[in-house]
Amino acid sequence: MGGCCSIDVRFGRYTDEDMEERGYYEYCEEDDDDGGEAGVKFADSGATVRFQGSSFRTSMFTLQGKKGINQDAMTVWERFTGEKDAIFCGVFDGHGPSGHKISRYVRDNLPLKLSSAIKQLQTHNGVATRGDKKNCKQTCNGTDNCHDDQGYGKNHFFHSLQACIVQSFKEVDEELSVDSAMDGYCSGTTSVNVIKRGEHLLITNLGDSRAVLGTRDDRNQLVPIQLTVDLKPNLPNEAERIENCRGRVFALDEEPDVYRIWMADEDCPGLAMARAFGDFCLKDYGLISVPEISYRKITSKDEFVVLASDGIWDVLSNNEVVKIVSCAKKRSLAAKLLVYRAVRIWKTKYPGSRIDDCAVVILFLKNRQPFLNKAMSDVSCNSINQVEIASSHSCRSYRSDGDRDTILGNLKVDLPEDYSALKGDDVMMVQELSNKHALKLIQSAMVANQDKQLLEQEEEKEETGHRNEQ
């Protein structure tokens, strides 16, 4: 965990003192000058562009933290490049005094640039020449920025596609640098995106936002697969490039686990990522806007992809994120449930820290949600529901440590047959272990109940809105 820029005041970072504290703030496109009705627009290509809400395939939600303006942005383009089965999803985490402007700038311009480049490539029948492959390698700076473990890279079209993606990122960054309305000298944004077309999934990543796939293992259990690498400055390849460009990589004493990029002769700005749009003060010192690109062929075991800013990943593991999404009662509320859970953990895990902005886009890969009872954590959705029912009366009076014994006393824990020969202290020890497990289940049930109440409130609002529309 750690802020993207190390020194807030010096570089104009919005703080509680600079702005009126407004608490948590659900993102509304009315705050954008270009927001469409209900956060939805229609592109010239025929694509439906979303900035918030949900659709048949996606769930989106963002929440302002305690650092000022919400600098996270997100978007979904349905019918991307004009194709019915193509969809683009992106999350952008801004930082610096103009981070909120830059994240929205990239949100609006990168999909346009990519769509145009891909359509142009398709017009030429996707035929890649040797020159295209060479150009791809040169554009990728000769580094391992393009990953393909499933053989699709043997396709010439994929080589050309990689090249046009890298070129699109480069052009957006260059246009950002000369835009007089944008101050990108000490401000920038991450960018994590997926492009789905049929069974093909292309992932691009710039910075430390993350994409995680929820899929099934050989035992049919839902497990996470991290699709991107958090591009931190202390990664060997990143650090080598930065140091070769006279940039410096080190962590502050008060944040020994947070490595940052610093200029050669000044202890600034202290950026906690190795790649980003903007941040032009560091572009001569090893910071680049070249994305990591990877490909995955979607299988019948793959359920959904979660894109999120580090406000989520700083407090939740990949396992926890997949579990929370899988337990959402309705797809449309899955992203909101995930953000609410992250905010709750921020408050308890880092009580003295200002909660970061959170943004989530979830892309569902199947028509239905068949995984409600297949949770992969120690306490499954079924277990939570069973304990919630078993302890429903007792939990109403759960107020103090003294009440804890009463709750456990009302939960009858049967010992397995293997323990039938135990007597005396041994039985008490086993019973104590069972009680501890039961307490853990109760605590999980209480958290699940809070989430359930939030979801019921949101569902009621949603149904009321539908009735009003009718």
Which domains are assigned to the chain?
25-364 (3.60.40.10), 381-469 (no CATH)
For residues 55-62, average pLDDT: 94
Residue 92 · residue 72 · CB < 8 Å: yes
Average pLDDT over residues 324-341: 94
pLDDT of 303 higher than 50 = yes
Q: What is the pLDDT of residues 414-462, one digit of tens each?
A: 444 433 444 455 445 545 555 555 565 556 556 656 665 666 666 566 5
In our burial notation (b when 16+ CB lie closer than 10 A, e otherwise), range 174-208 reads eebeeeeebbbbbbbbbbbbbbbbeebbbbbbbbb
pLDDT at 101: 96
Q: How far apart are CA 198 and CA 209, in angstroms?
A: 25
pLDDT top residue among 29 and 247: 247
Q: What distance in Å separates the CA atoms of residue 292 and residue 116, rounded to the nearest whole number?
A: 20
pLDDT for 343 beyond 50: yes
Q: CA 281, CA 294: separation in Å to the nearest integer?
A: 28
Amino acid at 84: K
pLDDT in tens, 207-246: 999 999 999 999 999 999 999 999 999 999 999 999 999 9
Strand spans (E) along 365-449 = none
Q: Provide the percentage of residues in the chain whose pLDDT is more than 90.
A: 51
User: What is residue 3's predicted lDDT score, i.e. its pLDDT?
Assistant: 61
In the structure, what pLDDT confidence band is assigned to residue 202 with cuts at 50, 70 and 90? very high
Model pTM above 0.85: no
Cis peptide before 269 (omega within 30 of 0): yes
pLDDT of residue 376: 41
The secondary element (H helix, E strand) that includes residue 206 is: strand 200-206
Give the C-alpha separation, 287 to 232, whole Å.
Answer: 11
What is the identity of the amino acid at 303?
A: E
Q: Which residue has the higher pLDDT, 394 or 251?
A: 251
H or E stretch covering 59: strand 58-64
Q: In the 8-state DSSP scheme, what is residue 17?
A: T
pLDDT of 109 over the 80 cut: yes
pLDDT attached to residue 53: 87
Can you tell me which residue has the tokens 């473990």?
A: 149
Q: What percent of the chain has pLDDT over 70?
A: 63
Instruction: Report which DSSP code applies to 11.
Output: T
Q: Where does residue 39 fall: left (phi above 0), alpha (psi -120 to 50 degrees), or beta otherwise?
A: left
Which band of pLDDT confidence, cut at 50, 70 and 90, is reported for residue 391?
Answer: very low
d(CA 153, CA 157): 8
Q: Which residues pair with 25 in a beta bridge?
A: 64
Residues whose CB falls within 8 Å of the CB of residue 356, separated by 6 or more in sequence, listed in order: 65, 67, 309, 310, 311, 314, 346
Between strands 292-297 and 146-148, the pairing is parallel
Q: Answer yes or no: is pLDDT of 309 > 90.
A: yes
Number of Cβ atoms within 10 Å of the Cβ of 385? 16
At 68, is the pLDDT very low, low, confident or very high (cuts 50, 70, 90)?
confident
Place of tokens 């936002």: 209
Of 304, 313, 437, 306, give the one whose Cα is nearest residue 378.
437
Pick the residue with more confidence: 216 or 376?
216
Beta-strand pair 269-271/259-262 = antiparallel
Burial readout 43-61 (b: 16 or more C-beta within 10 A, e: otherwise): bebebebbbbbbbebbbbb
Task: Please give the pLDDT value at position 354.
Answer: 83
pLDDT band at 351 (very low <50, low <70, confident <90, very high): confident
In this predicted model, what pLDDT tens digit does every residue of 111-145 receive, in sequence order? 999 999 998 888 775 444 444 444 444 444 444 55
3-class DSSP string for 361-372:
EEEECCCCCCCC
